[in-house]
Amino acid sequence: MLCDNCKRNEATILIKEIRNGKAESINLCAECARLKEQQGELGSFGFNLAEVLFDLGKLTKAFKPGAKAPPEVEVPHEVAEAVCPHCGWSAEKLRQHEGQLGCPECYRTFAPLVEGAVARIQRGLVHLGKRPAGGGPDGAVAMRLELERLQRELGELIKREEYEAAAVNRDRIAALKRELEAAEAEEHRS
């Protein structure tokens, strides 16, 4: 099959996209796919990053009128329809702009979506790094929170006999404990 774009090379990449509720597929050669990707026409190769990041696919179903089965409302309605009071951003805008938020306040407005995204992509849920200069103790509170979470998780992993993951968890707990002790010693000195 020839590439739908240049009609010259053999198509090697099939991209399926839902546009205006209709599934469309397009066959591209590697070169055209690369060009389109560079020009941002494909999102992340046909994926909408926002949909993957925030699990917004389920949100679409909730929006679709006249569906046979009752819509799966996975995302609470108040989030799906929330509008940021500070910047006017909406879940729909999130989708259009590949998961980008409008302002810092959006983290509060879309908290359930953000929490889901963070849990999917990040290694932890709590910030353990540096803080703005003059911003108080160096993350000791956050470290204790994370330690607590990891210890809870470790118990569950052992119960489920997922020993490999448990070992990773155990190492992180040990490292965190060391770091916490060092931070506390530092605090005592200063």
Partner 1 sequence: MSARVEALFRNPAGILGEEGQGGDIAISSRIRLARNPAHRMFPLRADAEARRELCDEVAATVPEFPTLGGAEALVFDPEALDKLDREVLLERYLASREFIAHPQGTLLAVRPDERCSLMVNEEDGLRIQSLRPGFQLDEAWREASQLDDELGRAFEYAFDEKLGYLTACPTNVGTGMRASVMLHLPGLVLTGQIASAVAAVNKLNIAVRGLFGEGSDNLGNMYQVSNQSTLGESEKQIIDRLGAVISQFIEREENTRKLLMERDQHGMLDVIGRSYGVLRHSHRLGSEEALKCLSGVRLGVDMHLFKSLDIARVNRMFLAIAPAHLQKRAGRELDPADRDVCRAAFCREQLN
Judged by the rule CB under 8 A, the positions of this chain that interact with partner 1 are 30, 34, 37-38, 53, 86-87, 89, 97-104, 107, 114, 117-118, 121-133, 135, 139, 141-142, 145-146, 175, 179
Which tokens go with 153? 């998780």
CA dist., res. 33 & res. 43, Å (int) = 11
Least distance in Å: CB of 46 to partner 1?
A: 15
Which residue's CB is nearer to partner 1, number 53 or number 80?
53
- Pairing state between β 13-19 and 22-28: antiparallel
Which residue's CB is nearer to partner 1, number 19 or number 130?
130
Least distance in Å: CB of 29 to partner 1?
A: 12
Backbone angles phi, psi at 8, to 5 degrees: -120, -50
Provide the 8-state DSSP code for 3: -
Which residue's CB is nearer to partner 1, number 20 or number 190?
190
Cα atoms in the Cβ-side hemisphere of radius 13 Å centred on 172: 20
Least distance in Å: CB of 155 to partner 1?
A: 18
Comparing C-alpha atoms, which of 11, 36, 14 is closest to residue 25?
A: 14
Q: What's the burial of 171, exposed, middle or buried (CB within 10 Å: 0-12/13-18/19+)?
A: exposed
Least distance in Å: CB of 172 to partner 1?
A: 8
* Residue 15 and residue 42 in contact, taking contact as beta carbons nearer than 8 Å: yes
CA dist., res. 25 & res. 15, Å (int) = 6
Q: Mutual orientation of helices 163-189 and 140-159 as an angle, nearest 10°?
A: 160
Which residue's CB is nearer to partner 1, number 73 or number 175?
175
Least distance in Å: CB of 145 to partner 1?
A: 8
Least distance in Å: CB of 114 to partner 1?
A: 6
Which residue's CB is nearer to partner 1, number 8 or number 149?
149
Which residue's CB is nearer to partner 1, number 76 or number 104?
104
